[in-house]
Structure 1
């Protein structure tokens, strides 16, 4: 899950899509690859009744340890937090090891760093495809286009665009980013992931992604 600058909706979309795929019975892994600004586990905790406090969420390092055992659950996403000491590990090596550890039939979502920075390149090099999450503001779309160009250069072509906090999607967005609009997530405050309309939008996004990319790859209904 890639995007422009911070606040583009990547983390919320990563978690919303992961939960939607779980509702289809898929054993999903959602990993925080934004180690400078990690908040995926925190968001999962805050929007899931605090059943899994962020402090106790397993990290990507835990998942790849030789004595670890990663068994994605079909009832809820397995959320992996950033490493406790990210400066002591190489992101590319860790994410490559994670790709080898997760079963091939389990969808794996990486919440990437924002923009087209070197930090964003590490997860994009590991992933086979990306989604571009973006609001429809002019500056955000311009930054999203730069991220999409970087992803293509790293052999991780965008599967599509997710327009976040959007009432509608104007013509021209697909041409600007060079890929189809696969989802539109309506605005909902203060907790969008608890809104029925947002949940339905992520369910529709999951259906489109499975149809386009995962029907023959993942264990998903």
Structure 2
């Protein structure tokens, strides 16, 4: 599933990690991969918000984290546990890696039935095509601002053209969403994530909101093949 949005700062990375952790809390073996190779920050966010960091788990060590390209090249099955998602970083030399081939091959090294979330580039970026083509469905993340919603609608249209139709949307920074948002994006609003300030994933109400998103997402037809304990 591609986590996509309009412009940068729409909440894609936080949603990718927050949703991945919520699915783990439901007993799923989750893989979250950074697909925004020009502005990669999924692995850094995972380290900075880890409640129980490993010895090497500091922001300075993120650059040496296992990347999605390494995982595909090694061709060894990824074996995520059910307590914490496996997070794959962007490759260090992204421009030397074929993004489309990498994301297509990721399916071959992840367990059958494991949710795989791709943290996408901004919707207007040409680089968004590779993860959208590789994914089965998209989840659209957007703030409730006019310009952001307009860009999110464009991203949803791009996803449909690339045969990655949106399963739903998640609105960032709000607890109340007008009905017309779903009509604009042409997909249901599955989640409303409150504003958690500078460290949203450390806030209980934000984690609870991602738990609710995970529950609603697993009830959709797009997630019927996911294995949840």
The bucket for the TM-score relative to the shorter chain is over 0.9
C-alpha spacing 1:111/1:215, structure 2 compared with 1 (3 Å): closer
5 Å-filtered alignment, 1:49-68, equals 49=51, 50-51=53-54, 52-53=57-58, 54-66=62-74, 68=76
**Per-residue deviation, residues 112-163 of structure 1 (Å, max 9, x unmatched):** 0012321001100000000000000000000000000000000000000100
Matched, 1:140 2:142: no
Q: 2:219 is paired with a residue of what secondary structure? A: helix
TM-score by length of 2: 0.93
Deviation per residue, 1:21-69 (Å, 9 max, x gap): 0001100000000000000000000000443342342100221124634
Distance in 2, matches of 1:93 and 1:67, equals: 13
Runs of 4+ with >4 A deviation: none
Give yes or no for the alignment of 1:102 onto 2:104. Answer: no
Query: Per the alignment, in what secondary structure is the counterpart of residue 139 of structure 2?
Result: strand
The partner residue of 2:34 within 32, 35, 54 is: 32
> TM-score if structure 1 supplies the norm length?
0.96
Aligned partner of 1:181 in structure 2 is: 189
Task: Structure 1 unaligned segments of length 5 or more: list them.
Answer: none
CA distance in 1, matches of 2:107, 2:218: 19
**In 1, Cα distance between the equivalents of 2:196 and 2:183?**
27
The match for 1:124 is 132
Superposition deviation, residue 215 in structure 1: 5.7
Aligned-residue CA RMSD (Å): 1.3
Residue from 86, 97, 109 that aligns with 1:78? 86
Paired residue for 2:8, among 6, 16, 26? 6
For 2:178, the equivalent position in structure 1 comes to: 170
1:112 is aligned to 120
Which whole-Å CA distance do the structure 2 matches of 1:200 and 1:40 have between them? 20
Query: d(CA) in 2 for partners of 1:75 and 1:66?
Result: 24
CA distance in 1, matches of 2:124, 2:158: 6
SS of the residue 1:65 aligns to: helix
* In structure 1, C-alpha distance between the alignment counterparts of 2:158 and 2:24, rounded to whole Å: 29
1:180-215: per-residue Cα shift (whole Å, max 9, x none)?
Answer: 000000011121001110000000000011111366
- Pick the aligned partner of 1:194 from 187, 196, 202: 202
Aligned length: 221
Provide Cα deviations, 1:72-110, integer angstroms capped at 9, x if missing partner: 111100000001100101100001111221112100000
